[in-house]
Amino acid sequence: MPAATQVVKCSRCGAANRIDPARAGAVCGRCKSPLVAQTQPLVVTDGTFASEVERSPVPVLVDFWAAWCGPCRVVAPILDQLASELSGRIRIAKLDVDANQMTASRFRVQSIPTMIVFQNGREADRIVGAQSREAILQRLKGFM
């Protein structure tokens, strides 16, 4: 997949579409509904984790976080920026561990923030603790 493209799921029919986020007016190839490129982290839950992360056609960095966590709040703007910059190459997702304890437990998240990179549905890398933008980006370079 070229670096400029992003896979976007149609909100109407659910079809996966490859689009260029820089071009306006993208429509779903199946139902012709307008598509919007994702430039913010995707919020995932216990119920959506499999479809949004484990079946993603591109690698996904999942930030396991909580609202009360100070280091999580430090990392959040960094991940917001990376979601926009890496659009189409790596998806950035966020999972609130307090509201989604089943998934956090499944991946043995014991401290937050924990960022896990999933590739082809499997854990490929784990970053524990608040990290700088450069450190996170360096870990992600191997997946782009």
The residues assigned a catalytic role are 69, 72
**Residue 69: how many CB atoms within 10 A of its CB?**
18
> What does the buried/exposed string (b/e) look like for 89-124 if buried means 16 or more CB atoms within 10 Å of the residue's CB?
bbbbbbbbbeebeebbeebebeebbbbbbbeeeeee
Distance CA 47, CA 20 (A): 28
Q: 3-state class of 27 per DSSP? A: strand
Provide the token pair at 105: 């437990």
Count of C-beta atoms within a 10 Å radius of residue 11: 11
